[in-house]
């Protein structure tokens, strides 16, 4: 790893370091799941209780008339969790490997990327669990489900780009994770996770347009539409294009920010 490598070189490095990336992802999953007896099952508890409580409150206290409320919320929570947990976990990606960063030279951008990778694995596992639930409902599986793959790739670029930025910030200022936690709470309500974007049309159509400029709104809506409506009423192409463009831009900016600051990590941690 020569000093002063170019931007494209950093991207090529991701491919060349795929063995390292795989190793780091495996470690991350192991460390996260080993500490608890239930392992992976434990990490499903959060979405499950979220659904139970949201359903109880919305359905039985506020009397929202909506069929399959729980499953609708679940379909929104899965992509949102990938986003929020992925970005949050990346904050400490460098600090968790403090020992290694201070003593070994390696392509350090693999650290936040590995965190994103581990969360991507988690997303896939959660989706498989969702499919099991689908078998029980039952929901018809069809080829529109394959749209989930490009959608997830776009989202992964977005999450990775933000992860570079928050990881840089958190490595210097170690309370960024808490600030971010609050921002994500707000972000969750500004994203159609607990409600469909179509409801915004009832408020005023302009709100829907504004909300859909948020790439996470497109991804969340996209997920729910693919899973529950076989991609009918999928977000309009212009919003999808905007979401992908923003995601790519965030990735490029994130990596540029990373390249600007990462060389000092061994000196400041």
Question: Is residue 97 a contact point for another protein (CB under 8 A)?
Answer: yes
CA atoms lying within 13 Å on the CB side of residue 189: 4
Quote the tokens at residue 36.
């608890």
Among 11, 45, 64, 104, interactor with another protein by CB under 8 A: 104
- CA dihedral sign, ordered 46, 52, 58, 61: negative
Nearer to another protein, 19 or 143 (CB): 19
Q: Which is nearer to another protein, 166 or 226 (CB)?
A: 166
Shortest distance (Å) from residue 43 CB to another protein: 17
- List the one residue out of 119, 116, 97, 118 whose CA is nearest residue 262: 97
**Sole binder of another protein in the list 77, 91, 101, 157 (CB under 8 A):** 101
Stretch that binds another protein, among 21-29, 82-90, 228-236, 253-261 (CB under 8 A): 21-29
For another protein, give the closer residue by CB, 30 or 199: 30
Chain positions contacting another protein, by CB under 8 A: 1, 3, 17, 19-20, 22-24, 27, 30-31, 97, 99-106, 169, 173-176, 179, 263-264, 266-267
């Amino acid at each position: 790893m020569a000093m002063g490598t170019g931007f494209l070189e950093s991207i090529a490095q991701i491919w060349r370091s795929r063995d390292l990336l795989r190793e780091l992802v495996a470690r991350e999953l192991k460390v996260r799941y080993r500490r608890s007896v239930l392992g992976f099952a434990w990490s499903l508890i959060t979405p499950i209780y979220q659904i139970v409580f949201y359903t109880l409150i919305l359905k039985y206290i506020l009397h929202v008339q909506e069929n399959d409320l729980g499953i609708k919320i679940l379909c929104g929570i899965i992509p949102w969790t990938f986003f929020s947990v992925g970005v949050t976990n990346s904050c400490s990606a460098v600090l968790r490997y403090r020992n290694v960063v201070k003593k070994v030279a390696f392509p350090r951008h693999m650290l936040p990327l590995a965190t994103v990778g581990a969360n991507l694995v988690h997303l896939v596992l959660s989706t498989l669990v969702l499919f099991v639930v689908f078998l029980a409902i039952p929901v018809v599986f069809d080829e529109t489900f394959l749209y989930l793959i490009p959608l997830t790739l776009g989202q992964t670029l977005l999450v990775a780009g933000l992860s570079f930025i928050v990881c840089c910030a958190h490595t210097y200022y170690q309370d960024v994770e808490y600030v971010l936690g609050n921002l994500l709470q707000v972000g969750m309500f500004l994203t159609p996770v607990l409600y469909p974007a179509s409801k915004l049309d009832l408020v005023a159509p302009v709100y829907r347009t504004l909300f859909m400029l948020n790439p996470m709104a497109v991804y969340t809506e996209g997920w729910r539409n693919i899973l529950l409506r076989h991609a009918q009423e999928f977000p309009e192409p212009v919003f999808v294009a905007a979401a992908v463009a923003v995601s790519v831009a965030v990735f490029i900016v994130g990596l540029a920010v990373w390249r600007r600051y990462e060389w000092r990590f061994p000196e400041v941690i």
